[in-house]
Structure 1
């Protein structure tokens, strides 16, 4: 994949828009998921992911092919998320679904005959509680937690994405986990 990716990136750097479209297709889901975990909602995640792709396209000539394209793209997206989080004020979308994750509506309040419903509800509540706790973290801790545990990047890859030393990544990861423990403790 890396050799194929390198060829696609070289074509894109030479101005081939279809090559860049291939890169978007390769990374759109991973980038959206990263942005969703950092931003906490789908609307902002979509906007930030688009912004990251636009910035990547605008700066494609500056990409150093000795590095992984994914790391470079994740760095751009993470920086866009952190910038947006710093500027964020409380915002509410009128077209947001009642339930962020599943797009629920009023039909969701009708009783179900599914015997596994209680287990699914508890699992979903745990995920929502964890996501809420992650959203309370400062952006620098949030980025490290998401990149490590959700995107499953190595310490070195996180270091590359965030442009910080590995020791800083380890410190932020430790402090982020400690903060999560306090947020998750009843």
Structure 2
């Protein structure tokens, strides 16, 4: 079914392309959210990804997975935007209201200790701030592996790099992230 939709999309059938991407919208948004750090930018980057994908669908080669191709476009769109801005500003609201649970959900938990809630939110903010201090390449690999759970092979396909490079980049990125967090947390 998917290959038929891809073929029709390559021929310029907009309805087929729309059906094709429905399956991937949430994944594209999640990658964009993790890369950009806030809901509004994630929506914009998701939209930009779909526009670029539609314009480039004629160049899609059937030997690759459509999802891998689409996720690569998402990462590249986000990297381009980050480069344009030089700095991404996190939205506190987006930090508290994402797929991992909203502040409202945490507070409604009767067993939650207010001190633990505060500490958890502080740590989450520190991690997001530290992620934004990494280079785009480092952030991409950490987001894809540690936050979105992709395999080394999938990350290699998405970023178009060898698995060995994925592993070494992830190792260096995690080390850099740890150092940034240690500095941030020692300053508090």
Q: What TM-score do you get using the length of structure 2 for normalisation?
A: 0.81
2:162 to 143, 162, 165: 165
Deviations 1:47-74 (A, max 9, x none): 1111111111001011011110010001
Deviation at 1:137, TM superposition (A): 0.8
Q: For residues 117 and 24 of structure 1, do their structure 2 counterparts lie closer, same or farther at Cα, with a shift above 3 Å needed? A: farther
1:15 to 7, 12, 23: 12
Q: For residues 79 and 92 of structure 1, do their structure 2 counterparts lie closer, same or farther at Cα, with a shift above 3 Å needed? A: closer
| Structure 2: unaligned runs, 5 residues or longer | 98-103
SS of match in other structure, 1:30: helix
Decide which moves more: 30-39 or 5-14.
Answer: 5-14
1:99 to 89, 93, 96: 93
| Structure 1: unaligned runs, 5 residues or longer | none
Aligned to 1:69: 66
The aligned length equals 174
Q: Does 1:143 align with 2:140?
A: yes
Q: Does 1:49 align with 2:43?
A: no
1:179 to 160, 163, 176: 176
CA contact (8 A) 2:82 2:88 kept: no
Which runs of structure 1 show a deviation greater than 6 angstroms over 4 or more consecutive aligned residues?
none
2:127 to 126, 130, 142: 130
Decide which moves more: 168-177 or 9-18.
Answer: 9-18
Q: For residues 174 and 30 of structure 1, do their structure 2 counterparts lie closer, same or farther at Cα, with a shift above 3 Å needed? A: same
Q: What TM-score do you get using the length of structure 1 for normalisation?
A: 0.82
What's the RMSD between the two structures over aligned residues? 2.5
Deviation at 1:124, TM superposition (A): 3.1
Q: For residues 122 and 22 of structure 1, do their structure 2 counterparts lie closer, same or farther at Cα, with a shift above 3 Å needed? A: farther
CA contact (8 A) 2:37 2:88 kept: no
Tell me the distance in 2 between the aligned counterparts of 1:134 and 1:28.
24
